[in-house]
Amino acid sequence: MHPLRTLILAAGANDAVRRLVATAPVARDVVARFVAGETADQAVTVTRTLVDGGLSVSLDYLGEDTTDRALAEQTVQSYLLLLDRLHAEGLAGHTEVSVKLSAVGQALDERLALDNASRICAAAEQCGTTVTLDMEDHTTTDSTLRVLAEVRRSWPWVGAVLQAYLRRTLDDCVALSGAGSRVRLCKGAYAEPEGVAYADRHEVDLNYVRCANALLSGNGYPMFATHDPRLVSVISERALWYDREPGSYEYQMLYGIRPDEQRRLADSGEAVRVYVPYGEQWYGYLMRRLAERPANTAFFLRSLVGTA
Ligand SMILES: Cc1cc2nc3c(=O)[nH]c(=O)nc-3n(C[C@H](O)[C@H](O)[C@H](O)COP(=O)(O)OP(=O)(O)OC[C@H]3O[C@@H](n4cnc5c(N)ncnc54)[C@H](O)[C@@H]3O)c2cc1C
């Protein structure tokens, strides 16, 4: 892993750095670029702006790796409240939610995570929207796919996430490319051992294209989550090749990253969904985004010392 990336991810676990970031006034602007806010109200405000601009949204209530039943329950309640708000505001048609199973109890007990995810899916159905189960590190992949299979028995529209950096993912894409299957394909965001994941970025990109072909040639609904300009152009070419109409697949990007490209794709008639995180636990998420891109980090560090 790049040394700067390692350093930033380490800072993500450091309490002193966390306090500095949370209190430095200019840093708040940087946080606001990537995170919608700490409350459901703030998330709804950002969502409305994006939806009014012709984009769809997936909202993520930040938090992960819960080892406390009460916290897992609090996360479920936050999603239920959010879904109610989206419905009341008339936003549910264009806004789904993304859920990390580790935030609803997966590390404690897979059954608890399944029950909690089911409660969120049932509420999403009532509100007229959908849920995607985020994918986390490779030690959770089998468990997450088991929970996915189980919730899809009642709610077949539940979205899966597959990570192109994992060597297993092409097989998973083929298995999940059937009719109606919503699958988000991303590169993958965790530090994984070479035994299970491609270490070389070029290998990851090649596997992304192989997986995209598998999804586009199937009968499901692929969701291509990437900011990579080369991959975006390969996907649009492959979609034409497979006679995919815009709207039979979608592009997904993170809130605050390449907003002009999100606009350009939507203006050209493509379906584009923006992944919008919110909640009090924004710090770890922010550090992962900064670790991905040195230019963001330089800007962020300058803002912390007041020169940006
Ligand atoms: C909607 C969405 C959902 C996701 N869900 C998950 C998940 O459930 N599990 C998971 O492990 N990961 C998830 N990810 C994260 C993903 O796995 C990657 O870590 C992240 O998207 C970076 O990969 P990338 O494809 O954008 O390519 P990268 O290799 O990071 O970037 C490729 C190129 O994209 C452009 N680019 C990237 N960032 C920027 C920027 N800030 N500004 C301008 N250009 C930029 C640059 O040209 C860069 O060279 C998700 C990502 C998205 C977009």
* pLDDT over 70 percentage in the chain: 87
Q: Which whole-number Å values give the CA distances from 234 to 15, 174, 187, 209, 259, in the listed order? A: 42, 19, 15, 8, 20
Question: Which residues make Cβ contacts (< 8 Å) with residue 269, sequence separation at least 6?
Answer: 246
Cβ atoms 66, 72 nearer than 8 A: yes
Domains in the chain, please, with CATH?
Answer: 1-35+282-308 (no CATH), 36-281 (3.20.20.220)
pLDDT attached to residue 205: 98
pLDDT attached to residue 22: 67
Distance 186 CA to ligand 1 centre (A): 7
Residue with CA at minimum distance from ligand 1 atom 34: 228
Q: Which region holds residue 122: left if phi is over 0, alpha if psi is between -120 and 50, else beta? A: alpha
Compare 95 and 33 and report the one with higher pLDDT.
95
Q: Report yes or no on whether pTM surpasses 0.75.
A: yes
Q: Is the pLDDT of residue 306 over 80?
A: no
Cβ atoms 148, 133 nearer than 8 A: yes
In the predicted model, what is the mean pLDDT of residues 42-46? Answer: 97
Render pLDDT for 49-84 as a digit per residue (tens, 0 to 9). Answer: 999 999 999 999 998 788 899 999 999 999 999 999
In the predicted model, what is the mean pLDDT of residues 147-164? Answer: 98
pLDDT attached to residue 19: 66
CA 245 from centre of chain:
24
Annotated binding residues for FAD, as ranges? 135, 163, 187-189, 226-227
> Which residues are tagged catalytic?
134, 184
pLDDT attached to residue 308: 45
CB of 225 closer than 6 A to ligand 1? Answer: yes
pLDDT attached to residue 294: 66
Question: Which residues make Cβ contacts (< 8 Å) with residue 199, sequence separation at least 6?
Answer: none
